[in-house]
Structure 1
């Protein structure tokens, strides 16, 4: 699998432009939020940083799929009460629709994450996905840090 395609599909170009359009609709400029070298977007909403990229997954049979990935680091995994912490994350996954809470491999951070294949995605859906992730990330980072203070980290 590969995260960086050699050629950009028309659908990736379309979604790239829609992400730029969304950022501009909330008062940001492309220059402020887009890293053209890494092809990533980053901005802050309240206390949460929002990171966006389009990832191409290539399969052995020669096909590929492109995914919109939106995420925000919420907090480091606490040193105490891990069972209670992980149970709380699973319960949040059940109640916070449209966002999942994840821990990336080799990471000590909990992320609010949204992913979707970009096929058929229009601007309204993209804007809803980003706005929902922004809302939950800004809410959950504070809630989790207050509920599970990181005494030993």
Structure 2
């Protein structure tokens, strides 16, 4: 079994343990699973890129929208300043601006090499908890 197949099996197992059919969480058009956790939806997908030695590496990536990017430049600056401080505080996560979608997102990712089921579940569940906390905080500070 390839590492990619193993992670897909893990995701199917997680769906079963959550009591939902995988087909209700998986979108074949985006090749992503969508888990709702609190006020957040976690998008989980596998992506392959080449490392510095030009060798392919596959990562599992989870991401969730936290808030809309404000149109006002001053509010944007304050938002970006705030999320940079958050990036330095919460280890294992990064916050990114998805300019084309107009969103600030939280992301967690890991190379799938050697990943076990519990590591994958922890990546998704912890991301969901932080997304739920941080989306509320940022929406209070900067609006929808």
Aligning the two structures, in what range does the TM-score lie when normalised by the shorter sequence?
0.7 to 0.9
TM-score, L = length of structure 2: 0.87
Q: Distance in 2 between matches of 1:64 and 1:108?
A: 30
For structure 1, the residue ranges without an aligned partner over 5 or more in a row are 1-8
State which of 124, 131, 134 in structure 2 corresponds to 1:130: 124
Q: Distance in 2 between matches of 1:91 and 1:61?
A: 32
Higher helix share: 2
Q: Distance in 1 between matches of 2:124 and 2:107?
A: 10
Q: CA deviation at 1:21?
A: 1.4
Q: Distance in 1 between matches of 2:52 and 2:132?
A: 38
The more displaced of 105-114 and 126-135 is 105-114
Q: Deviations over 1:50-97 (max 9, x none)?
A: 101000114697631101010011111123422221111011112222
Q: Secondary structure at the match of 1:112?
A: strand
Counterpart of 1:143?
A: 137
Q: Distance in 2 between matches of 1:76 and 1:35?
A: 23
Counterpart of 2:71?
A: 79
Q: Deviations over 1:20-70 (max 9, x none)?
A: 212322332202101234321012112111101000114697631101010
Runs of 4+ in structure 1 off by over 4 angstroms are 58-62
Counterpart of 1:53?
A: 45
Q: Secondary structure at the match of 1:43?
A: strand
RMSD: 2.0
**C-alpha contact 1:69 1:114 (8 A) present in aligned 2:** yes
Instruction: Please tell me whether residue 21 in structure 1 is matched to residue 13 in structure 2.
Output: yes
Q: Distance in 2 between matches of 1:69 and 1:20?
A: 16
Instruction: Please tell me whether residue 99 in structure 1 is matched to residue 88 in structure 2.
Output: no
Q: Distance in 2 between matches of 1:105 and 1:93?
A: 18
**C-alpha contact 1:98 1:132 (8 A) present in aligned 2:** no
